[in-house]
Amino acid sequence: MFTFQLGHLQENLEAGAEKQTAAPPRSLAVRSMPMARACLIIYNLSMLNTRVFLLLAASTLAACQSSAPLREDIAAHVQMVSAERLMTSVETLCENGPRHPMPDADAPGSIASQKAVTWVADTLVAQGWPETSITRERFEHTRRNGERVWVANLVLEATGNQTPNETLELVAHWDSVAGAPGADDNATGVAALIEIARLMAVAGPAPRTVRFVFVAEEETGLNGSIHHLTQLKVGENLHGALVFDMIGYASSDDDSQTSPAPWLPLMPSTGDFVILLGNWTGSGLCDLYDACAATYVPELNITGFHFIGGILPDADRSDHWFYWENGFGAAFLSDTANFRNPHYHKSTDQPASLDPTFFREVTQAALATVFEWAYHGGHGWTTAVETFAITNPNLK
Ligand SMILES: [Zn+2]
């Protein structure tokens, strides 16, 4: 997860520059809660302003979801999600670091020097995915100091065998900040995608297309996800993107969770939940995640805010931002980064600091969501957006 606020993001995009500041971002969240308590809190918050009131009302109602239908095949694959494999992936990614763009990279082929990315590609092939289903989206990034680096997103296309034009994207950035091994940020997200890809390979072809997008340069201004969106096939039906950024740190200690907005009394004070943020078109994907978690991973705590996109810009701190900007549905999963994890962007962001049980649960609910959508039609969720040509704001 990157560290500057959206107000700075546009500035960064315009400059096409690397920028890392310590400015604390802000976001909002509402924990799924009994209706009576939710109504009371909403009433109190309505004193703030109408916009916040409507936002919270919609989000809270959305968080009161029913569960998804129980399907035996999904339940079986949910149980196959392995905490050991997830942690091994995180450890291997950290060992293959640094995952910061190499200054010696001076040509498109230099991405081969990115050991971690090569390892991800090799792992997918070993799972049974054909080489032809894996591509690299290379792009050049000019840093503020004039240094030019070549980086690449890695993309696995699990093409649907009935309606391949219907796509769900799973997104996680593979890069880390300089000087940090990036176990939670964001080897956890990459590991989750790898594990879901493994179990899709086990399950066999799905009717719909699932695209696994391992993006570069999130930490330096969301460059990888922005570039990826410019590469979308015009006319395909993108149903949404599920974005993973830091999903492995949890604590059951009192006051282990801080709130980015002190005036908001809704953020739980114990950091044992995954946060789920969405936009208008992505709210259905949030609902689906909630419903699948309720059915298959009821022990997972979720704090959801399904309509935050475009309303409270400071919530836009990761690769979901450019989806939201362009009207695509995206749902964002995170452990809330620096509002919980004391190792955020530090050399101590090591695998040993993670909670494998929490990490597995977040991944299990994501797998159930993906499987429900790809193999079973998505429990009635239909908010596809036809893709269109997108211009990269970094290009002049
Ligand atoms: Zn980060």
Alpha carbons 321 and 332: distance in angstroms, whole number: 9
Q: Tell me the CA–centroid distance for residue 267 and ligand 1, in Å.
A: 21
Average pLDDT over residues 360-369: 98
CA of 154 from ligand 1 middle (Å) equals 18
Average pLDDT over residues 81-108: 81
Asked, for residue 289, whether it belongs to a domain, the answer is yes
Q: If you measure from the C-alpha of residue 114 to the centroid of ligand 1, how many angstroms do you get, rounded to a whole number?
A: 18
Range of weakest confidence among 58-62, 180-184, 208-212:
58-62
DSSP code at position 113? G
Q: Which two tokens stand for residue 151?
A: 């980086």
- Tell me what pLDDT residue 65 has: 56
Residue 345, token pair as written in the block: 């962007």
Q: How far is the CA of 366 from the centre of ligand 1 (A)?
A: 21
Give residue 321 CA to ligand 1 midpoint distance, Å: 14
Q: How far, in Å, from the CA of 174 to the mean position of ligand 1?
A: 10
pLDDT at 47: 41
- How much distance in Å is there from the Cα of 165 to the middle of ligand 1? 32
Cβ partners under 8 Å of residue 293, min gap 6: 300, 302, 365, 368
Q: What is the pLDDT of residue 151?
A: 84
C-alpha of residue 338 to centroid of ligand 1, in Å = 9
* pLDDT at site 57: 52
Q: How far is ligand 1, taken at its centre, from the CA of residue 342, in Å?
A: 13
pLDDT band for 314, please (50, 70, 90 cuts): low
CA of 337 relative to ligand 1 center, distance in Å: 8
Write down the pLDDT at residue 59.
53
The most confident of 61-75, 217-231, 314-328, 356-370, by mean pLDDT:
356-370
Q: What share of the chain is helix, strand, coil (3-state, %, to 5)?
A: 40, 15, 45
Q: Which amino acid is at 158?
A: A
Total domain count, the chain: 1
pLDDT value for 175: 92
Alpha carbon of 220 to ligand 1 centroid (Å): 9
73 C-alpha to center of ligand 1: Å? 35
Spacing, Cα 274 to ligand 1 middle (Å):
16
Ligand 1 centroid – CA 339 distance (Å): 12
How far is ligand 1, taken at its centre, from the CA of residue 219, in Å? 6
Task: Tell me the CA–centroid distance for residue 181 and ligand 1, in Å.
Answer: 11
Does the pLDDT of residue 26 top 60, yes or no? no
- The pairing of strands 237-244 and 330-334 is parallel
Q: Quote the distance between the C-alpha of residue 388 and its chain's center.
A: 22
260/153 Cα distance (integer angstroms)? 30
* Mean pLDDT within 380-395: 80
List the one residue out of 186, 105, 139, 176 whose CA is nearest residue 16: 139
Question: Chain-centre distance of CA 228, in angstroms?
Answer: 14
Per the CB < 8 A criterion, the answer to whether 324 and 316 are in contact is yes
- Over its C-alpha atoms, the chain yields an Rg (Å, rounded) of 19
* 160: in domain: yes
- Alpha-helical (H) ranges within the chain are 6-15, 35-45, 50-63, 72-80, 83-95, 115-126, 188-203, 223-230, 283-296, 321-325, 356-376
- Measured in Å, residue 207 CA sits from the centre of ligand 1 at 34
Does residue 18 surpass a pLDDT of 70? no
Report pLDDT for 7: 40
User: How far apart, in Å, are the Cα atoms of 110 and each of 135, 138, 155?
Assistant: 15, 10, 17
Q: What average pLDDT score do residues 135-150 get?
A: 79
| 3-class DSSP state of 172 | strand
In a domain, 1, yes or no: no
Instruction: Say how many Å lie between the CA of residue 208 and the centre of ligand 1.
Output: 31
Q: Does residue 48 sit within a domain?
A: no
Mean pLDDT (the chain, rounded) = 82
Cα 221 to the center of its chain, rounded Å? 15
Looking at the domain assignment, is residue 297 inside a domain? yes
Residue 166: count of CB within 10 angstroms of its CB: 21
Separation of 318 CA from ligand 1 center, angstroms?
Answer: 8
pLDDT tens, position by position, 258-300: 887 765 557 899 999 999 999 988 899 999 999 999 999 999 9
Tell me how far the alpha carbon of residue 21 lies from the centroid of ligand 1, in angstroms. 11
Neighbours of 119 (CB within 10 A): 18
Q: Has residue 395 been placed in a domain?
A: no
Which tokens is 30 given? 């509402």
Ligand 1 centre to CA of 203 (Å) is 32
pLDDT higher than threshold 70 for residue 166: yes
Residue with tokens 């950035």: 173
Q: How far is the CA of 39 from the centre of ligand 1 (A)?
A: 34
* Band of pLDDT at residue 356, cut at 50, 70 and 90: very high
Give the tokens for residue 387. Answer: 């893709």
pLDDT higher than 80, residue 49: no
Alpha-carbon torsion (186, 189, 192, 197), positive or negative: negative
Residue 176 Cα to ligand 1 middle (Å): 6
Residue 341 has, within 13 A of its CA and on its CB side, a CA count of: 32
With CA atoms as reference, report the closest residue to 211 among 133, 115, 149: 133
In a domain? residue 53:
no
Residue 308 Cα to ligand 1 midpoint, Å, equals: 20
* Residue range(s) defining the domain that contains residue 378: 6-31+65-386
Q: What is the mean pLDDT of residues 29-33?
A: 32
Report how far ligand 1's centroid is from the alpha carbon of 182 (Å): 8
How many Cβ atoms sit within 10 Å of the Cβ of residue 80? 15
Contact predicate 171/243, CB 8 Å? yes
Rounded average pLDDT over 38-42: 40
The CATH number assigned to the domain holding 307 equals 3.40.630.10
CA 240–ligand 1 middle distance (angstroms): 22
The mean pLDDT of 308-321, rounded to a whole number, is 79
How close is the Cα of 10 to the center of ligand 1, in Å?
Answer: 18
- For residue 122, tell me if it sits in a domain: yes
Specify the residue for token string 């970094």. Answer: 394
